[in-house]
A and B are shown apart, each in its own frame.
Chain A
Amino acid sequence: MEIRGNIMSIIEFRNVTKYYPNYHHIKGGIKWFLFNLPSALSQLKNHRFQVLNNLSFEIKEGEPFGIIGKNGAGKSTMLGLIAGVLKPSSGEVIVKKKVVPLLELGAGFHPDLTGRENIILNGVLLGIRRSEMMLRINSVIEFSELGQFIDQPVRTYSSGMLTRLGFSVAVHTDPEILLIDEILAVGDLYFQQKCKETIKKFSQKGTTIVLVTHSTEDMRDVCKRALWLDSGTAKKIGSPEEISQAYLKYLGFS
């Protein structure tokens, strides 16, 4: 703990608050919106719900960091903010290195493209040049262990196979920060184990891991520090042991 002051923080949340406007009002469409303009506008302004409430914490470079919390606690919003697809309503999110999000269940894959084609598409979208991706493709295929399925359209894949492919691409795109959302829960035990080993290997090489999970066991296994998110605030930050004990106690398991 005493050395922490010397290590650079790589992700910083400073008083981050995130609201979502209640967009379902305008799901009524343009016609509804225009005919009820004054009330529609005021509803959009006033009816919003808070997902994150004045959240502040930081993750140090190379630190495997776990985030745990109930459904709807704001975990995905946090990941969205780190990945840069969302903007905070107030406060600041500072991310200093390249983020590679691990897409759940082959999100971002196109069902009609083959595994091979999807590797290139995904790799390029994750910021790797096409020419570079071509050099790595065999290594990705080998890692995924998908064999001859790699030339089949991914719509024929099982969910486990999609996860394998997604994970294999992500770890081949030079992540400096790896965002992992519940990925360990899918795939067979063998591949889960392989994922965990790979995550640990990346962590040893200095890649920062941010793991969102419901499994306190995975968290203890992979992470060095953890955050318990509850209704958009950091209920507790500490060692994975502390956090899982407190969290399980809160849920009534021990």
Chain B
Amino acid sequence: MNIWYDQLIELTKKELRARYKTYFFGYFWSVANPLVLALTFYFALKMVMKIQIEDYPLFLISGLFPWQWVANSLSGSANIFINNVSLIKKLNFRRELIPLSMILNDLFHFCVSIPIILLFSLHYGKPVSFSLIFLPVVIVSQFMIVYGLSLAISSINLFFRDLERIVTIILTILFYTTPVLYPHTYLPENYSYVIYFNPMSPVIILYHQLFLEGFVQMKFLFLSFCYGVVILSIGYYIYNSLKWKFAEIL
């Protein structure tokens, strides 16, 4: 085992402590936030707008929980290096561990919230199916997408500090154009190709399929994995070509 493994663990623990002070409240907030969000959308879309989607509460949380991970990690990315300026200016260690520790922290919170989605699944009489063995593949794909974007955002934001605002806007657009609140099959036929251009869509579709329908479509699994590999490569390339300038610009 390498030293960076220890460094990653310690940085992740620091991240966890820094954000929530105690581990218990960390769990509480990571679950409470998307649950409240789900409740709000349930009120607005189901009770008021009368949207006709079967088992809508389950549908909502199986999309909102993983989305929470994306939103937290990406909005935290912009300032992650700026918040750790002293480490970057003084210590020579792998700086990619800093965003990685933040993402692992969010991933951890997502993972501990999966049992709640499964409870909802059982409540709505969904069989716990064999296809759940694909869950780790979906999580890994999502991880690669999020980490790749995070490396790019955190590195570029050091040079263009207004990227943070742009990220906030893009996250909002992404949230409503990704099939989180509605099934992708609801898209009008001539727009249905749009989901293939949104890297987050296949991942969210897969979560819906896993928790509601008990199957996964291989084309989405393949697509999300490809997006993961491509985005992580690009993100790492951007980080790698800028990392020598971090200590100069901070």
Contacts and interface: CB of A to CB of B under 8 A. Distances in A.
Given A26-B160, A27-B161, A112-B21, A86 B86 contact: no
B219 interface: no
B interface, by DSSP: helix, strand, loop or mixed?
A: helix
A80 B246 CA distance: 12
B237 interface: no
Given A117-B17, A128-B3, 18 more contacts: A20-B248, A23-B249, A29-B163, A30-B163, A31-B162, A80-B89, A85-B88, A86-B248, A101-B90, A101-B91, A103-B91, A110-B14, A112-B18, A112-B21, A113-B14, A125-B7, A125-B93, A127-B3
Contacts of A29: 160-163
A107 B90 contact: yes
A84 B92 CA distance: 6
A interface, by DSSP: helix, strand, loop or mixed?
A: mixed
B39 interface: no
Interface of B: 3, 6-7, 9-11, 14, 17-18, 21, 86-93, 159-163, 166, 244, 246-249
Contacts of B93: 125, 127
A121 interface: yes
5 contacts: A29-B161, A30-B162, A110-B17, A124-B10, A127-B93
Contacts of A149: none
A174 B3 CA distance: 15
A33 B160 contact: yes
A206 to B, nearest CB: 22
A110 B166 CA distance: 28
B250 to A, nearest CB: 10
B21 A30 contact: no
Interface of A: 20-21, 23, 26-27, 29-31, 33, 80, 83-87, 99, 101, 103, 107-108, 110, 112-113, 117, 120-121, 124-130
A84 B21 CA distance: 33
A112 B6 CA distance: 20
B160 A130 contact: no
A124 B5 CA distance: 10
A30 B162 CA distance: 7
B87 A125 contact: yes
Given A112-B17, A112-B21, A125-B10, A85 B89 contact: yes
Contact of A130 (B10, B18, B161, B244): B10
